[in-house]
Structure formats: C-alpha cells, structure tokens
C-alpha cells in the first residue's frame, strides 16, 4: 500500500495554518517519502502563502497549490478529493486542526484494513465528544475494538482511498440534486456551500458509513473563518499513544450510529434482549422528526403518555441504562402515537455531564442572544414576567381503578388558569385505556408507592405550586389565581388550605403547627383532604427525603412533615367542589361533626393557657371577634386570610 498523501486545505488563517504545520512536522512517520500538499484557495492572505513557502517539511516532498480563483470550501474540498486520482490514498486536514503524533500510523492501518469494505465511505481521524445535532455530549457504546461506525461524514481530519472517493463522485454525478427529505433537520439548515451536507446525502442514500476512532487523532480549534463560529466547542484531547491494531470488522451487530448520533436499533437489540424483536426507532436525543419515523415504537427521552417500558438516566452513555435495564422513567419505549412532541429541554440531562464546559455553553447562548438582539430579550422578559405573574400550577390526579375521560376532564374543566399542567398518574393494574386531550398528560408508572411517582412528575414539570386532586373533585375557577396571588405576595407562606369544605366550620379548618404535629388518622378531617391543599415546590423539596422514606403516602404523612417546617395558612374560600369520589380515599376521614376542643385542650401550654383556651373556645367557634383573636393567639393559630373578590387581593384578618 502506498503512503497516503497529506493534503492541507488553507485559505485566510495564517496562524492556524502555522500551528497545523508544526504539529505535522513533529508527528511520527515510518517513512521519509510522505507527500505534503498545501492547497491555498484563491484570494489568499499573503501571510498564508509565505508560511506555506517557508515551512520546512523533513518527511518527504512538499507541493504548494495556489488557486487563481476563489473556489469556496465546498469546491476546494472536492478539488482536493480529486487528487486521489494522482496520489491514491489521501489524508485531508483543514487549517484549524492539530494532529496527534500518531495520526498517520492510525490512518495507514485503518485505510488498509477497510480498503475492500464497500460499506465504508471514508475514515475519520476525529472522535466526537459533542454531537452536531444540538451540541449534546456523545459517548459511543464501548466494545473490544478501537473503532466504530457512524453515518456522519468527518470534516475535522479525514482520509479516503481512491476507490472510496471515486464511489462518491460517481454518485454525485447522478444524484447531486437528490431530495433532502431524509437528512436530519440540523443538516438541512446548513448552506448549500457545505460539502459535508452533500456527503451526508451520499451516506444516507447508499447506506454507507465513516470509520471513527475511539481516541481522537485530531482536534478542532474552530478558529474564526468562513464556516467556523464556535471556537473551542469541539476541542478534544489528542491521543498520545500508539494506536491499537484491534480495528472493528464491519458486520451485522457492530457498533453503528446513524446520522443523528443514535445507535442503530439492531445494534441496540443485540445488546439489550429485554427489548425483544420490537420494531423501533432510537431517539435518545429527542431530535428526530416524528413525521418521518415509520416504526411503531420509539425509544426516546421525550415524555410519553403511555410507555411500554421505562428506564432511568444514571449511566453514561445513556444507552447503558437501556442495556442494563436501569429502573426509572427518563427513557421511554413507547408507541409513536403516545409521544409528547415537545423539544427536549437543553438542561434535561445533557449539560449535567462534564463533557461540555459551562463557559462554552454560556458563550453560545450569549452569542445567539446578541445576534438575535431585542427579539430574544423581549421574549425572555415577557416569559419571565408571565412566570412571575402566573407561577406554574401542577395538578396531579392519581388513579387506581377504571375511570372515564370525562371524570378526568371534569377536575379542571372550570379552571382557566393560563399556566396549568395537568398530569394523570396511572397506578392501575391492569392499565387504564384513556383517550385524553393533548393538554392532559397520562403518566404511567409501575411504582406502587405514590410518593416516588409524584416526585418524578414534580421533577419533570418543575412547577411552583402543586395540587393532588382525586377524581370526584372539581377545581373551582378562581383557585389557581388565588393561590398564585397568595404565594407571590406572601413569600413566607408555603402551603395553603381552604374553608367551606363539607360543611366544616372555620375553627375545624384552621390548624396550628402544634395541632398538625399531633395529627393522627383519627383526628384528621376533610379540610386537610389532598384536594383542599395547595403547596409550593420548595416545601416539597425541603421535606421529600423524609416523606419518601415512608412505605405509604397519605395526607397524614405529608402534612406531618410539612408542619415540622412551616405553618399552614387558611383562606376563606374552598379550593374544590367535591362530589362522590370514584377512587377509594387513601384513609378514612373524621366526621365533620367532631369538635376540636380536645385538640385545644391537649396543647402543651401551662395550666392557665389550657384553662383559658377551654373557656374561650366557644367564642372562637362562634366567631366573636375579640375572643377569637385572643384564642388564636393563645393557641398560635395563624391569621385567617381573606380574599377580596372585588379587588382580587388577599389580606390577613389581623
């Protein structure tokens, strides 16, 4: 096999070119007959030509090609690729790269190994750590080999045999105008001046792949230029050791990725027999267009209203969670029709990994915001003002038995709050079939304990306010607005219940922290029913460790933990209209006829306080102003909140 020629593509970056040439000079070569070609596009910077001319190449002969006309990067790369007709195998390097000392050794070995494999269209010297479809971290699944395959053309250090380049040129002659319908969305957005966009078409249309190393033999500085605007984003550690000769053979179940940086389904199912023979599309980055997916099932990080299987997100790479059947609900195997087609949040889990430096990501966002100018700023400002005025309310309805879609929709039918997320938590067995509108999410979970399932939903939705409402209850029209007003204006209030439930008197709806901390299943009443309490996420996050330690999840356990941290405030409005519930309550509620004198008497006050509480309780119960104030102070009952219907504000009674 002949020694591959090294071709450097240069234009107007003199410092970049000098850096690349220095790294080439210090690299390791097994021969002193290596051909170096420096191809300089027309309209070049004079310094570029001077650097190329003055550079001393000690490993063979050097040739400088200066083009009279400006070709542009696409035609320049095509010109350099055509040099395979003269030199045979070539290694192509753009001027903003730096090479590993062992890049040439790897290229020679790999070009020889794959030269007769028709499915291979080229060789990459670069190993991705960040995808190009959204800048997500990328870690290929590990195996015993030093290479793997992707349907992604490499542009940051690549090599071709003469046969591989000729195959591309023959296809290009016949299919250059071929439709872009099969291209990933991120590639479609590239300009027509991109040679890589055309090579993507070639790979997908002919089902061919590039060979990629698991260690990178080039790194990309991304220096500013005609087609570069992300300086430093694709920097990667260079391999500083002699490459392994254990190259991966191209066979049915070898490690192969598609144009979206997703592992191919047949490769995944070979490693994850728990998936069976399901016809599926892999979409862990959540970037594939659902309209172009033909398989019945999708393995995705997008949310699903009805997942067949679910997996956690604890291992890296993410696919390991599926292979090892890690429990959780971050990755869903679901039918296509149940996928919630929402863009995957950038913060979801990708940027929690160390493979992307925070400053790089922040710089990208800042640059984009600067480019888009006032439009972006105003949108961000409006979104922030909207969230401040209308904090997100999460309504969760747990269901255990068969219910109808009408029962579910009735719960929020009169609530027109603009920032409401409604989730039906399906804990039934067998599974319930519900035909719900798109704004209601059907969350299926195999967790028997309600607490962890609710915690997963809260984590996903990221609300400010939370209600747990069973079927048979209907949220009143102003409930969300009242809660938003209270929590926004009174930052110290963390949870809130309403009056007017099931005929309970005011004194039966108001609770001191002492009385709450002495709760039991016998003395709880309907004023503390789930559907009559709204709490803030901050309170949940503060107390959930203890809450989730319990084997059961009831109002009694939840309120007991809440009371350890802050007092419950009561407002003179009910939150829901409760009808006959379709689900069994989580426990038996006390009768509304029971007085609460025993609670007042049992407070750990000195004897005089207990005596005064006993004497004053009738005045408190029957709302005699002065007496009720004294009684409330004695028993540390928080002031009642009043809602002014006309002015749409709340205020305490004293």
- Taking only the tens place, the pLDDT of each residue in 333-346 is 999 989 987 655 54
**pLDDT (mean) for 209-213:** 98
Give pLDDT tens digits for 373-426: 566 667 777 777 788 788 999 999 888 777 777 888 888 888 888 889 898 888
Residues 6+ apart with CB under 8 A from 9: 39, 41, 73, 76, 77, 80, 92, 93, 94, 95
Residue 267 reports pLDDT greater than 50: yes
Q: How many residues are listed for the chain in this entry?
A: 654
Q: From CA 87, how far away is CA 67, in angstroms rounded?
A: 19
Read off the pLDDT band of 635 (50, 70, 90). low
Share of the chain above pLDDT 70, in %: 79
Q: What is the mean pLDDT of the chain?
A: 82
**Exposure b/e, 237-267, CB count within 10 A at least 16 = b:** ebbeeebbeebbebeeebbbbbbbbbbbbeb
Whether 580 has a pLDDT exceeding 70, the answer reads no
Neighbours of 571 (CB within 10 A): 25
Tell whether the model's pLDDT for residue 607 goes beyond 60.
Answer: no
Q: Are 203 and 124 in contact (CB under 8 A)?
A: no
Question: Which pLDDT score is estimated for 241?
Answer: 87
The span from the CA of 313 to the CA of 322, in Å, is: 9
Query: Which residues pair with residue 257 across a beta bridge?
Result: 150, 263
Is residue 227 pLDDT above 50, yes or no? no
Question: Among 430, 490, 527, which Cα is nearest to 639's?
Answer: 490
3-state secondary structure at position 410: helix
Question: 289 pLDDT exceeds 50?
Answer: yes
What does the pLDDT read at residue 603?
41
**What is the mean pLDDT of the segment spanning 188-209?**
93
Residues with Cβ within 8 Å of residue 385, at least 6 apart in sequence: none
Residue 28 has pLDDT above 50, yes or no: yes
Q: Which residue has the higher pLDDT, 503 or 357?
A: 503
Alpha helices in 390-478 (DSSP H): 405-411, 450-461
pLDDT (0 to 100) of residue 590: 37
Alpha-carbon distance values, 559 to 283, 498, 592 (Å):
40, 15, 19
pLDDT of residue 280: 94
- Band (57; pLDDT cuts 50, 70, 90): very high
Residue 557: per-residue pLDDT: 84
- Mean pLDDT over 522-546 rounds to 86
Residues 627/556, Cβ–Cβ less than 8 Å: no
Q: Is the dihedral of CA 265, 266, 270, 276 positive or negative?
A: positive
Percent of the chain with pLDDT over 90: 41
In angstroms, the CA 113 to CA 247 distance is 8
Q: Could you please report the per-residue DSSP string of 514-545?
A: HHHHT--TTT--GGGSGGGEEEEHHHHHHHHH
Q: How does DSSP classify residue 591?
A: P
Closest of 68, 67, 63 to residue 52, by C-alpha: 63
Cα separation, 624 vs 617, whole angstroms = 10
DSSP strand E in 11-61: where? 36-40
* Cα 243 to Cα 247: distance, rounded to the nearest angstrom: 10
3-state secondary structure 233-297: CCCCCECCCCCCCCCCCCCCCCCEECCCCCECHHHHHHHCHHHCCCCEEEECCCCCCHHHCCCCE
pLDDT higher for 42 or 361? 42
Contacts of 107 (CB under 8 A, 6+ apart): 4, 91, 123, 125, 159, 217
What confidence tens digit (pLDDT) does each residue in 236-248 have? Answer: 899 998 887 799 9
Whole-angstrom distance between the N-terminal and C-terminal Cα of the chain? 92
Mean pLDDT of 86-101: 96
Residue 425 sits at φ, ψ, to 5 deg, of: -95, 105
Query: Tell me: the pLDDT tens digits for 463-520?
Result: 999 999 888 888 888 899 999 988 888 878 999 998 876 677 777 788 888 778 777 7
Q: What local confidence, expressed as pLDDT, does residue 351 receive?
A: 38
Strand order in the sheet with 440-444: 440-444, 420-426, 393-399, 465-468, 533-536, 495-498, 569-571, 641-644, 649-652
Residue 319 pLDDT > 90, yes or no? yes
pLDDT in tens, 106-149: 999 999 999 999 999 999 999 999 898 888 889 999 999 999 99
- Give CA 598 to chain center in angstroms: 51
Rounded distance between C-alpha atoms, residue 402 and residue 408, angstroms: 11
């Amino acid at each position: 096999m002949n020694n591959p020629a090294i071709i450097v593509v240069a234009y107007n970056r003199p410092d970049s070119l000098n850096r690349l040439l220095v790294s080439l000079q210090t690299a390791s070569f097994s021969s002193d007959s290596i051909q170096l070609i420096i191809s300089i596009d027309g309209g070049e910077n004079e310094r570029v030509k001077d650097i190329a001319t003055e550079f001393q190449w000690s490993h063979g002969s050097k040739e400088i090609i200066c083009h009279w006309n400006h070709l542009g990067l696409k035609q320049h790369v095509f010109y350099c690729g055509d040099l395979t007709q003269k030199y045979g195998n070539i290694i192509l390097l753009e001027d903003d790269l730096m090479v590993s000392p062992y890049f040439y050794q790897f290229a020679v070995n790999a070009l020889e190994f794959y030269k007769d494999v028709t499915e291979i269209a080229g060789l990459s010297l670069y190993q991705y750590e960040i995808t190009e479809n959204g800048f997500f971290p990328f870690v290929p699944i590990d195996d015993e080999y030093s290479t793997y395959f992707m349907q992604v053309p490499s542009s940051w250090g690549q090599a071709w045999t003469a046969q591989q380049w000729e195959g591309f040129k023959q296809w290009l002659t016949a299919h250059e105008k071929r439709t872009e319908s099969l291209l990933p969305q991120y590639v479609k957005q590239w300009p027509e001046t991109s040679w890589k966009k055309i090579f993507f078409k070639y790979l997908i249309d002919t089902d061919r792949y590039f060979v990629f190393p698991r260690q990178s033999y080039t790194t990309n500085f991304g220096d500013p230029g005609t087609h570069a605007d992300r300086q430093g984003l694709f920097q990667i550690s260079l391999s500083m050791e002699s490459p392994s000769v254990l190259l991966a053979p191209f066979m049915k179940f070898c490690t192969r990725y598609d144009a979206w940086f997703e592992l191919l389904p047949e490769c995944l199912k070979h490693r994850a027999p728990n998936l069976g023979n399901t016809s599926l599309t892999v979409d862990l980055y959540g970037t594939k267009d659902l309209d172009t997916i033909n398989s019945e099932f999708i393995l995705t990080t997008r949310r699903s209203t009805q997942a067949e299987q679910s997996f956690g997100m604890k291992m890296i790479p993410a696919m390991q969670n599926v292979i090892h059947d890690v429990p959780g609900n971050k990755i869903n195997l679901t039918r296509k029709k149940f996928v919630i087609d929402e863009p995957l949040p950038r913060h979801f889990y990708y940027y929690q990994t160390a493979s992307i430096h925070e400053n790089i990501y922040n710089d990208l966002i800042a640059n984009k915001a600067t480019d888009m100018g006032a439009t972006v700023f105003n949108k961000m400002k409006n979104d922030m003002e909207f969230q401040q005025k209308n904090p997100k309310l999460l309504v969760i309805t747990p269901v255990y038995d068969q219910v109808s879609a009408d029962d579910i929709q009735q719960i929020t039918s009169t609530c027109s709050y603009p920032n409401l997320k409604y989730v039906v938590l399906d804990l039934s067995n067998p599974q319930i079939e519900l035909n719900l509108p798109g704004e209601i999410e059907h969350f299926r979970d195999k967790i028997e304990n309600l607490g962890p399932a609710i915690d997963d939903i809260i984590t996903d939705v990221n609300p400010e306010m939370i209600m747990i409402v069973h079927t048979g209850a209907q949220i009143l029209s102003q409930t969300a607005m009242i809660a938003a007003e209270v929590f926004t204006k009174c930052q110290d209030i963390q949870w809130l219940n309403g009056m007017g439930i099931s005929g309970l008197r005011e004194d039966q709806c108001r609770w001191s922290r002492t009385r709450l901390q002495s709760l039991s299943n016998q003395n709880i009443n309907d004023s503390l029913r789930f559907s009559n309490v709204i709490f803030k996420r901050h309170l949940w996050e503060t107390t959930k460790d203890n809450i989730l330690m319990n084997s059961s999840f009831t109002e009694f356990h939840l309120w007991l933990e809440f009371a350890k941290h802050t007092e419950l405030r009561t407002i003179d409005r009910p939150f829901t209209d409760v009808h006959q519930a379709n689900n069994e309550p989580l426990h038996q509620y006390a009768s509304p006829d029971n007085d609460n004198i025993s609670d007042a008497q049992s407070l750990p006050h000195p004897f005089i306080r207990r005596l005064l509480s006993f004497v004053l309780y009738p005045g408190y119960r029957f709302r005699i102003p002065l007496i009720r104030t004294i009684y409330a102070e004695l028993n540390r009952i928080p002031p009642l909140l009043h809602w002014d219907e006309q002015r749409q504000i709340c205020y305490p009674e004293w």
